[in-house]
Structure 1
Amino acid sequence: MTASEDSVPALPAPADPSGDNAADRLIKRTLLKVTGHPAKAEADTLLNGVIDAWRRHQGRNSSKPTLILVAGYAGSGKTEFSRFLSYLTSWTLLDKDTLTRPLVERLLVSLGGDPDDRHTELYLHEVRPLEYRCLMETAFDNLSAGTSAILSAPFIAELADPNWVSHLINRCDAEDVDVAVVWVRCDAASMREHIELRGDPRDAWKLQNWEAYAGTLNTETHPSAAHIVVDNRLGTAIALVHQAHETLNRILAGLELH
């Protein structure tokens, strides 16, 4: 059973119905489309939290801090979707690579490795856990100050680990933080195209060994933890959010003229 727009819990009407209602409806419609109209309760955390934050961003309403994990394979569209959510909410956007990459590269070199390594045992066991620790602790520093956060990272191993997920949920409960997980689903061909376009040295091994790398991707599976799926196969979801972004800019420009 899937949810329709009308089945989502009602939100308070904004003060100015002329343009604000149009913006709210567009945000709601776009998020429902790209997440496949989920019926699960965790979808309400994302939808209501984002619209409430949009209204607060425009000078209305308030809410307790929210933590959004945007997860998926390399090249799936995580960054673009995270940026869209940050645009809507003004929540802190923490991208794992932006936050930790210089330190990761220097640490790999100091350990005798390749700064662009993202696949050997050295990276996976000695460096990667530290990246995620930095990311999560930075997020909770923001949450403790009442600032919601959007985290963009693969989270492949983390979301498959029941102990990691349980610890995250318990910590959020203890600190009175809402949490939602977004899994960005994408096909291997589209991911490769995206990876090629961004031309990042850390992706060199993936492209040089694409068949072996692609063989490790399970594009039909989702995390075992409760989550919302953004279906970005063939770039569909990201195209929708780009269109919504442009339309919202036009709506806001129209409001400023009145």
Structure 2
Amino acid sequence: MEPTVIFLIGPAGSGKSTIGKLISSKYNCCYLDKDVVCNKLTGLILESNGYSPHERDGCTFYSDVVMDLEYQTLLDIANDNLQLGRSVVLDAPFLGYFSNRNYIHELKEKYDWQNVKPLVLQVTVDFSVLKERMQARALERDAWKFSNWDTFIQSIQEKQCLWEGIEILQFDNSSATVDLDKLYHILPFTPPSGLM
């Protein structure tokens, strides 16, 4: 089977990490969470330039300078695994890249993904459930979202993934527990032998 790169997208608190880890475990994929890969370094970069280490939303220095570095790092690590024949789940919002219709074409060309299948799995969630989950996790980087909740929700609704040349699958993760049968059913590949 050709290696697959799954772009796991959705708002903060939608359960992307849970979904990503379930998929990675079931299908023996490499799981890459942008927060784990980049957060410590990003925090130091922000702090050394006079910003809070948790400042992301609404911070132009982050969006103009740091964000691209984070995603380049994440994708470089993913590509190393893909070139070794290992499928990868990328747990990151990618919101800043949604409007670039050619984004996937550009990645295919940059990394020479001739034998790599890219697909998007968009995790959706009811906004009231989203707020409860974010309150429960109590992360400092969510402070801006709570202070600007209507703006945050509006940005989620307005920022649609416009990428061309890629299959976009959707999974509603509003339930208290993940519907595993539904999740695994929508993915277009079968687990390696012995992992059923």
| TM-score, normalised via structure 2 length | 0.82
Instruction: Give the CA deviation at 1:173.
Output: 5.9
The answer on whether the counterparts of 2:8 and 2:122 sit within 8 Å (CA) in structure 1 is yes
Matched, 1:217 2:167: no
Using the alignment, how far apart are the partners of 1:180 and 1:188 within structure 2?
A: 25
Equivalence for 1:17: none
The answer on whether the counterparts of 1:172 and 1:179 sit within 8 Å (CA) in structure 2 is no
Helix, strand or coil: the match of 2:175?
helix
Instruction: Give the CA deviation at 1:100.
Output: 0.4
Helix, strand or coil: the match of 1:108?
helix
Using the alignment, how far apart are the partners of 1:64 and 1:153 within structure 2?
A: 22
Helix, strand or coil: the match of 1:114?
coil
Instruction: Give the CA deviation at 1:89.
Output: 1.1
| Counterpart residue identity of residue 113, structure 1 | Y
Question: What number of residue pairs does the alignment pair up?
Answer: 181
Equivalence for 1:235: 175
Equivalence for 1:150: 89
Instruction: Give the CA deviation at 1:129.
Output: 1.1
Instruction: Give the CA deviation at 1:222.
Output: 4.2
Using the alignment, how far apart are the partners of 2:60 and 2:106 within structure 1?
A: 25
Equivalence for 2:133: 194
| Counterpart residue identity of residue 172, structure 2 | D
Matched, 1:64 2:2: yes
The answer on whether the counterparts of 2:46 and 2:53 sit within 8 Å (CA) in structure 1 is yes
| Counterpart residue identity of residue 101, structure 1 | N
Helix, strand or coil: the match of 1:85?
helix
Using the alignment, how far apart are the partners of 1:214 and 1:81 within structure 2?
A: 21
Q: Identify if the C-alpha distance between structure 1 residues 179 and 172 changes in structure 2 by more than 3 Å, giving closer, same or farther.
A: farther
Equivalence for 2:47: 109
Of 15, 22, 32, which residue of structure 2 is paired with 1:84?
22
Using the alignment, how far apart are the partners of 1:181 and 1:243 within structure 2?
A: 16
Q: Looking at CA atoms only, which structure, 1 or 2, has the larger radius of gyration?
A: 1
| Counterpart residue identity of residue 129, structure 1 | D
The answer on whether the counterparts of 1:183 and 1:222 sit within 8 Å (CA) in structure 2 is no
The answer on whether the counterparts of 2:29 and 2:86 sit within 8 Å (CA) in structure 1 is yes
Of 19, 22, 38, which residue of structure 2 is paired with 1:100?
38
Cα RMSD after superposing both structures: 2.4
Instruction: Give the CA deviation at 1:85.
Output: 0.4
Which runs of 5 or more residues in structure 1 are unaligned?
Answer: 1-62, 246-254
Deviates more, 1:113-122 or 1:162-171: 162-171
Equivalence for 2:104: 165
Using the alignment, how far apart are the partners of 2:183 and 2:104 within structure 1?
A: 32
Deviation beyond 3 Å, 4+ runs, structure 1: 169-175, 242-245
User: Relative CO higher for 1 or 2, CA cutoff 8 Å, sep ≥ 6?
Assistant: 2
Instruction: Give the CA deviation at 1:79.
Output: 1.0
Instruction: Give the CA deviation at 1:92.
Output: 0.6
Instruction: Give the CA deviation at 1:243.
Output: 9.9
Instruction: Give the CA deviation at 1:160.
Output: 2.5
Using the alignment, how far apart are the partners of 2:93 and 2:169 within structure 1?
A: 15
| Counterpart residue identity of residue 175, structure 2 | G
The answer on whether the counterparts of 1:158 and 1:165 sit within 8 Å (CA) in structure 2 is no
Greater helix percent: which structure? 1
Greater strand percent: which structure? 2
Helix, strand or coil: the match of 1:179?
strand
Helix, strand or coil: the match of 2:93?
coil
Equivalence for 1:44: none
| Counterpart residue identity of residue 104, structure 2 | V
User: What pairs up with 1:22-37 in 2 under 5 angstroms?
Assistant: none
The answer on whether the counterparts of 1:182 and 1:227 sit within 8 Å (CA) in structure 2 is yes
